[in-house]
Structure 1
Amino acid sequence: MRPSQRPGPRRDLAELPPHGTSPEAAREGARTEGRMPTGEQLLAETEQLKEALERRPVVDMARGVLMAAWSCTAEEGWRILVHVSQHSNTKVHDVAKALVATTQNEPLPAHIEEHLPAALAQWRASRDG
């Protein structure tokens, strides 16, 4: 069925959100205006979800590495990864990849190695205090 044959009101291009609008922002804007997300917005969100599913195993492995090395929980491992990510201005996935690579005798990149001790110290302090 072509778009022009679909039932319901037709939308003018002026009603579409600006190009580059995040799916979350577009959906929120659509909700507040009583509109549904566009096909382009749904496609963008689907791509983001696919990418997240592809990256999740590496992040989970990195959490496992932290759990094994430091006897932390999965949630604490996640918080350590996020702390390093935020303070090194590196995506969580990239921090996780670098950490998993250390299990194959790869050195940690300097910008990650610089922030990991602080993240571990913060975790220890929250655990002990």
Structure 2
Amino acid sequence: MPDTPQMPTEPRTARAPDPDRKLEGGRRFVMHSSFEPAGDQPAAIAELAQALNAGERDQVLLGATGTGKTYTMAKVIEETQRPAIILAPNKTLAAQLYGEFKHFFPENSVEYFVSYYDYYQPEAYVPRTDTFIEKESM
């Protein structure tokens, strides 16, 4: 039987970001705000940042309207020193988030992309029913 490489038995762990490391573009993420984390925010920021630094890719930040989710996301970006893509379910919220992140990170590049489509259905094929769905947009 041929020798096969053994997989490591120890889980791979990510290291925390080096605080002196400069990101692409040479600018660190420094958040500007007159507020300090309050309530559940410090714990949420710490847990989200720790999980990201440990390699956890999928996380959810859930909260009611006005509870500081955007602020919490910005603090996690600052804490982890990682760029982020923020997705919004509609154009109005996307514009609001863009304005808030531009305010939080005035020295960093904050970009804004909104699709011109109100509706887009990519083409698709369903083998089970041998159905082809045409691309459609409005």
TM-score by length of 2: 0.25
More strand by share: 2
